[in-house]
Every structure is written in C-alpha cells, then in structure tokens.
Structure 1
C-alpha cells in the first residue's frame, strides 16, 4: 500500500502498531446514493448484505473516553467482534489500529488479544449494549487508475433506545495502489453525484444519539503530546479544524445562529493554522487553499453579521427587515456550501493534509521533524511580539490598523489554544489561564470596534443605511471613543501578562 496514506510520522521512534485500514468516508444524500447505484461508475452485481452491529460500553462510557470502540457485527448468522482505537479521522481519512475475532453470540469476549480488559479493569463487568446500527450494505470492487478500491454503500439507521437517526454513507477503502487514486475516484463520483466529506464514524453517530441534540460544535482541544513532531501537530490541528467546520455545516439553521458562527470560527482557526505553520507547509497548494478558505468564510459572513445585529433589535420594522435579509443570507450560504467549489475544497484539503508536497519538501525537512513544543514556543513568541508592538498607542491607530491588530490577536489566541497541550506543568497551566483571559478580553474589545466599523456597511448592503429606525445600531463618536479606551486598557493588561510557554 502507498506509504503516503495516513498521517505524517507523529513521534520519533514511535512503536509499531497493529495493521491499519485506510478509508475515505463520504456522505451522499439518499437520492444521490440511488443515482450512484444507477450510474456507470460501478460494476454490476454488488455484494449485498444486511448487517446488525451492537456497540458496547460501560454506563460511564469508559471506552469512548479512552478512545476505543467495541462492537459485535452479525451478518448471515456469523458474528465478528471488532475493537478499534481512535485514529486521525478528523479530515475524512481514517486510519485506526483494530483487533478482530469471531464470537459465538452477542456477548463481548475480552481476553489478552485486545487491550480492553487491562484498560477497563474491574469495570469490564459493567459492559453492556449502548446502541445498534442496522444497515443494508452494498459492496463493489472498483479498478481505478493504478488502484483497487472497495466501495461500500451503507443505508440504514442508528438506534439508541427510542431515538433513531438515518444513515447513508460511502466508504472508499484502498486495497491496492496509491492514496492519490482514492481521492481521484472520490472526485469522479462527486462529478456524477454530489458528495460531502464524511467525518462521523458509526460509533460517533451512536454516541451522539445518547446525548442531547447539538446546536453547534465548539472547539475541542487537539491531542498533542510532548514528543509529537511539528508536521504531525499541524496535521492534527488542521484536521480538527476541518472536522469542526464540517460538523457545524450540517447544523446550520437560520433559526439558530450558533452553528454558522462556529463554522466560521473553524475556518478562521484553520486559516490561522496555515499561517502559523507556513514554514513547513508552504508548497504549491498552500496559498490557493488558504485563499479558498478565506472565500468560504466570507460567504458565511453576511449571515453571521445579521445574526449579531438582530440580537440587538427589539420587535419592529427594522428587525423584520433584518430577519428577511437574514433568511436570504442563510439561503445564499446554504447554496454556497452545497456548491461544487465548496465540496471540492473539502476533498482538496483532506488530500493535501495526507499527501501534499509539504510533507516531502527537502527545504523544510528539519522544521517538519522538529519537536512541536520547540516550534510552538518560537511561534508564540513571534505572534505575541507582533500583538504587543502593533497595539502600542492603540488610541492613535486608525480603523484599518486596529483591524490588523484584531487579526493578529486572533492568530495568537488560536496558536495558544492549539499548543496548550504541549505546556502542561502546573505553573504553565496557571499562566495559560491568565494569558488566555487577558487575550480574550483584548479580542472582545477589538471585536466591538470592528462591529462598530462594519455595521454601516452591512446596513447599506440590506438597504437600511438611511432608515432612521436603524440609527440606534450605528455607534456614536462618543461610544467609539469609549470603546477605543477600553481596548487600549485591555492591551496594556495583556502586554503585562507572563508567557505560559517559557
């Protein structure tokens, strides 16, 4: 199998792990799945099977918390138990150590062939069914370019107690050949039928059913360890951002603005990750991908801006017109997200993260293999210096320079959040809390100033710039002066805060 598949080397001298499967997960609609079955992309006569999978965990979800899944899958009277360890599935490409063995019934078999009994200790006695996945599976073996690819289409549902969720997904597993062919085939399918990059495996779908319905998905810490390389850290950070975006994309709804907000946060964080890691990632695709991310974030900007304005309005004519404009903005955003350009961007990013030229550029070899902790300390120093320097005499800066300061502060905050797991002594964690607190305060104050500058433009865009009823949304000279003073005080407090990484 092509050695470019999967994440870049994560640790110097890392131990050998069990054999891994490499697959690309895609999400079609039910209609798109029917179109694919009827297309000439697939050979005739797929293997068809009905699968019932029971996933097990303790009442406290100890397996999920430890990054493992345990299932027993039954098909045609035969049962297979599978244990999987969490892997880098954040960008659609999954590579997970796994352990399989046949079992006689629906009771898990925990022995020395898997790590679960040692992991759970006495809690293994509390293992029980958590949820089920019921699907009809169609399987094709496809020859494409230099590769043999297994295409699996699953349609069915996830069941957890009295809650159910439909499931329709495609998995492309590379049996032979290069990862490039895997993505090439995915793009060819997307030309025929629209596809979205898949992020959730079946276990994650089940666990989501067990909890409350999500309004939005916020940023989660990235799993970085002290011995991780800079290349592996970037891969994980970017993959986590891509995952956050896709999960929020599926939740975007004009009745609740939180998902579109978090989707834009994810895109900003991803663009910042590009900037932070430019020294190792700047290859022939770097600038194009970063600009495409800028385009996509901008396409969601009007919807988010109108959400912010509406939150400041009471009932009345102005609010009604803003609500109408928001409905249009959300419709436009939905159209963009479903476009071929946006879908292609997700596949391009996913492929670039696992086999882009940045992984093999000779000029950046030393930087890629550098300990992420050392790289992070230098990057944080650089961005902190930039924010401190640009914010001097903040009261005297013009709007454009304050906006640049705001962007620098965001990059520093995101870098701090990305790299925090690399600095975990008690003193570092204490300093991190204070550092982030003062940086967030500065970012908030600069954000208010940015809103004050951008609001007139947004009102003009929706035809309300000359409406007297909307005048209260415009910041007065006195209000802006007070905001600038508050931002300057926040900058001074930040500038005096100690670094957590030194």
Structure 2
C-alpha cells in the first residue's frame, strides 16, 4: 500500500495546452512519456465500493495492465491524501483475489463486481524538480463513458514524488496566476459514478472546516451546474467573517454577483483566473469551523 498526495485542477482544453507551454518553459521542468490510458471501473450493482468511498479500476497503458484500489482519503491544505494499492495484471480481467486481502475485501461481495464506467484519456507527463521537491505533473485529456453517455475530461494533476508538500501549492499558485484553473475536489471516479447515475456528491458535514465546505461546494456546483443550498449558506457564512483579505473579499463579491446572475461555476472557471485564485486564497486562511 502507498500513500498518494496530489492536487487536481480542471481546465479547458485550450487552458491545458497553455499550462503545458508555460510549465515546459520553467527551470527544472522536463518532459516525460505520453500514454493513452484506458481505465475500467468496477463496483457492485448496489454501488457498495462507492458507498465506502473506494474506487477500483483496471488500467491499460499499451501492453501493461494495472489493477488499482484507491480510497477517497482526505483533503488537507489543498491536496488529496489517499491510500492506494496497485497490482500488475496479465490482461484486462479483474483479479478478485488481490482485493480479498485488503480492508475492502472484508465488507463487499467481490463476486458481484462488474464494470460501471470508463475514463479514457491521453496523459502527457512533465517532471517538475527544484530544491524543494520533485513533482509529477500529469496533463489528461479525454472522456468519461457510462451507459452510452459521455463527459469531457480535461485535468492537470500535481503529485508529490519527494520533498516538501508545500511545493504542490506553490506550483498551483503559479499556474493559477497564468492560466484559468479550477481546484477540483471531485475525482475522475466520482465524475464517472455521477455520469452513470449512481452517485451525487453531498455536502460535507459541520465537522469539516468552513473553507473545505466552500471548496467542496464549488466542486459540486462545477459538476452539477447549480449552486445548492449548502454552498449558498457556506458562502454567506464566509462573507460574514471579519478580517478577510481585501482581494478575497472582492473575489467573493465578484463570484456571488455572477452566480446570482445565472452563471455556472464551470463557465466562470473556464473564462477567468479569478476562481482558481480565489480557491487558493481560501487555503491560505486560518482554519475556520
């Protein structure tokens, strides 16, 4: 089992290319391989894995096959921290026996597992290296497929390989100042489950910080196209907090004005660097209950 620490950003195809050009021009950045990845996700008819916040997939990259079991984990200081198990396979068939020895294998009828959706995309790799850290940057573009439906997929993932975790946010900040990005707490797997009609993200509980609740709410609105009551309430609570930086106050007013006028979070994030900068500014705030 390994632990994964990453930041995931959603972009438009044009912004993804812009991000690659900008990153490639930075010191200490080198190009890695480009791969076409075919990912098939499995669950029971009742969605037992999804309810446990676990994703199970078989990935094909050329003539290599990898079975991965990954937890949703937690969102800490702007990054996702997850547990992950990986096993090489001889082909595309799921190996149930490999899962039996994990905690998931004790709570799910593994014989009921079957394909639910696919995420298929081209992945371009850049390695970002400096004195602080080594980070793998994956630029993914493709689609999510479920029951004859399709959703575009366009993401940039920053994964810490070694060094200081703060370097992840430093790179994200630099990108957000240059390219329209959206800090997305909704994973590829969650998008696939939503497309398959088996899942709808629900608001975080009061035990989570206000900042995390707002960021998760914005991600829900990005996915659904609508602001739910929980996000509206959390945005209102945030605006009532005193001592917010003037730039953040201005950006929050800008966001609420456009949402009230009927704009969607996805459209705002695609057309301006302000939503991404607003999200990252929230992470710099002291923790708010």
Q: What is the aligned length?
A: 283
Tell me which of 211, 214, 230 is aligned to 1:241. Answer: 214
1:26 maps to 2:25: no
Is residue 79 of structure 2 the alignment partner of residue 93 of structure 1? yes
1:264 paired residue number = 232
Please state which structure has a larger fraction of its residues in strand: 2
Query: What per-residue deviation string (whole Å, max 9, x for no partner) do you get for residues 3-41 of structure 1?
Result: xxxxxxxxxxxxxxx541100111121001122333313
- What is the Cα deviation at residue 334 of structure 1? 6.2
Richer in helix (by share): 1
Q: Which residue of 2 aligns with 1:108?
A: 95
Equivalent position of 1:476 in the other structure: none
2: CA distance, partners of 1:304 / 1:195: 18
CA contact (8 A) 1:90 1:240 kept: no
Alignment of 1:288 onto 2:244? yes
Give the alignment of 1:392-471 within 5 angstroms.
Answer: none
Gaps of 5+ in 1: 1-17, 225-232, 253-257, 276-285, 306-325, 360-414, 416-502
In the alignment, does 2:98 pair up with 1:143? no
Separation in 1, partners of 2:45, 2:221: 28
Q: 1:84: which partner in 2?
A: 70
The CA deviation at 1:342 is 3.4
Q: Is residue 60 of structure 2 the alignment partner of residue 74 of structure 1?
A: yes
Hey, what's the Cα distance between the residues in 1 that align with 2:238 and 2:54? 27
Aligned-CA RMSD value: 3.4
Aligned to 1:193: 179
Partners of 1:94 and 1:152 in 2: CA distance: 15
Larger Rg: 1
TM-score by length of 1: 0.50
- Secondary structure in 1 matching 2:169: helix
Inter-partner Cα distance in structure 2 for 1:81 and 1:334: 35
Query: Would the aligned equivalents of 1:92 and 1:198 in 2 still touch at CA under 8 Å?
Result: no
Match of 2:281 among 348, 355, 374: 348
Q: Secondary structure at the match of 2:40?
A: strand
Which residue pairs with 2:196 in the alignment?
Answer: 210
Task: Give structure 2 stretches of 5+ with no counterpart.
Answer: none
Q: Distance in 1 between matches of 2:110 and 2:268?
A: 48
